[in-house]
């Protein structure tokens, strides 16, 4: 079952379970569409896999199987190199 992680792992923006712009790889590395497309070119920086749109979970299923609330941080390598302060200037 998908975790439905609550945020983009690149820019940290919130990606609620009903977000249409959430993108995931097969390991559920989770990114917003703008990071996935503009920064990552559709490829997961952690595993190299495809990033595809995350399906939304219907509300009744979400009540029984809630989305993860555990925020997953930035990946250790790759896209963080330009941002050594930990702050994203675009936020
Ligand atoms: Zn993002
Ligand atoms: Zn991945």
Q: What is the pTM of this model?
A: 0.78
Query: Which residue is associated with the tokens 């995350």?
Result: 54
Q: Each residue of 44-67: b (16+ CB within 10 Å) or e?
A: bbeeeeebeebeebeeeeeeeeeb
Q: Write the pLDDT tens digit of every residue in 15-56.
A: 999 999 999 999 999 999 999 999 999 999 999 999 999 999
Q: In total, how many domains does the chain have?
A: 1
Q: Which ligand is nearest to the CA of 36?
A: 1
Antiparallel, parallel or unpaired: β 22-24 and 30-32: antiparallel
Q: Which ligand is nearest to the CA of 24?
A: 2
Sequence-distant (6+) residues with CB within 8 A of 65 are: 1, 57
Indicate whether 90 belongs to any domain.
no
Q: Percent of the chain scored above 90 by pLDDT?
A: 78
76 CA distance to ligand 2 centroid (A)? 12
- Supply the CATH number for residue 6's domain: 3.30.40
56 CA distance to ligand 2 centroid (A)? 19
Number of residues in the chain = 91
Q: What is the pLDDT of residue 69?
A: 95
Q: Which ligand is nearest to the CA of 7?
A: 1
| Domain carrying residue 3 | 1-72
């Amino acid at each position: 079952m998908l975790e439905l992680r609550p945020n983009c792992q690149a820019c940290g923006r919130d990606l609620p379970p009903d977000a249409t712009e959430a993108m995931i790889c097969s390991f559920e590395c989770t990114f917003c569409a703008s990071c996935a497309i503009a920064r990552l070119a559709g490829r997961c920086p952690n595993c190299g896999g495809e990033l595809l749109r995350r399906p939304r979970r219907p509300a009744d299923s979400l009540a029984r199987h809630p989305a993860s609330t555990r925020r997953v941080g930035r990946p250790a390598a790759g896209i963080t190199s330009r941002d050594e302060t930990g702050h994203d200037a675009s936020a």
